[in-house]
Amino acid sequence: MWEYGDPRVLADLAQLAEESGWDGFFIWDHVLFDVTDPPDVCDPWIAMAAAAARTRRIRLGAMVTPVPRRRPWKLAREVASLDLLSGGRVVFGAGLGAPVDAEFDAYGEDSDPLVRRGKLDEGLELLRLFWSGEPVSFAGRHFQVDGATFRPTPLQEHMPIWVAGNWPNRRPFQRAARMDGVMPERGGGELCTPADLREVLAFIAAERERQGIAADRPYDVLAAGYTDHASPAAPETVAEYEEAGATWWIERFHAGRGPLEWTRERVREGPPRG
């Protein structure tokens, strides 16, 4: 959004990120974001398609896709197509979506949290079913499908799904435990500390055990924050989250952090590795 609300800018940044040694390129998924002061916004799926065409290695995804404001069948097609275009590099990030006034109410979509919660759970189930390539019949409270078969399937045999949630809200993390990764925050854009991350992972581990999910099944844990490449503390900051259980460090870039040229330079410097 804002300076980043142009798919050409994002494709350039994705190429620069790959050339500079980063492992992934993830963008927000919004349609308006602010009703009273709307920024420039670009469609994430168009931007990721452009990024896929300009890169060969890095992972790509929207963090997060508000599944409750999407039709699962259309979303399944987009994700599968992007996975084929990228050579199997897509990660699917999912959440409820916010802010509700700009992302739901403005278009007459039901913003009730219980409705959005139900659509998210049914939508995730349908995505997995569509991506299987088998005939899908589904009778849910919010979505119905009658014998639809989606082909081609994604290039990845198992599309990784990472679920976002605001800790210490438990319900999103029960959902995340069923999937392939978790993206925790504290709400209101506040970032998790290493101590928070340990709490999240203890809860996830207990929940996965309760649900009968094998402990050795791969699972990604995202920690997000800000580092100055030149600072000696940057690798130490990331190491603290890694020790807490993080498998990915997400360096956050947005209009409030600095101008676009500063972002390009920070991306060019590469990730905060020791």
**Within a domain: residue 36?**
yes
Helices (H) and strands (E) in the chain, counts: 9, 10
Residue-level pLDDT at 127: 98
At residue 192, what are phi and psi to the nearest 5 degrees? -75, 145
Question: Around Cβ 234, how many Cβ atoms within 10 Å?
Answer: 21
Q: What is the pLDDT of residues 197-242, one digit of tens each?
A: 999 999 999 999 999 998 888 999 999 999 998 788 899 999 999 9
Q: What is the mean pLDDT of the chain?
A: 96
Q: Residue 217 sits in which domain range?
A: 2-269
Of the pLDDT bands very low, low, confident and very high (cuts 50, 70, 90), residue 274 is low
CA angle 225, 228, 229 (to 5 degrees): 115
Mean pLDDT (whole number) for 146-165: 97
pTM here?
0.96
Does residue 74 lie within any of the structural domains?
yes
What is the three-class DSSP state of 185? strand
- State in Å, rounded, how far the first CA of the chain is from the last one: 31
Q: Does residue 85 lie within any of the structural domains?
A: yes
CATH number at residue 140: 3.20.20.30
CA dist 7 → 211, 261, 262 (Å): 40, 16, 18
Within-domain flag for 20: yes
Distance CA 184, CA 196 (A): 9
CA distance 201 to 209: 12
Domain count for the chain: 1
Residue 274, domain member (yes or no) = no
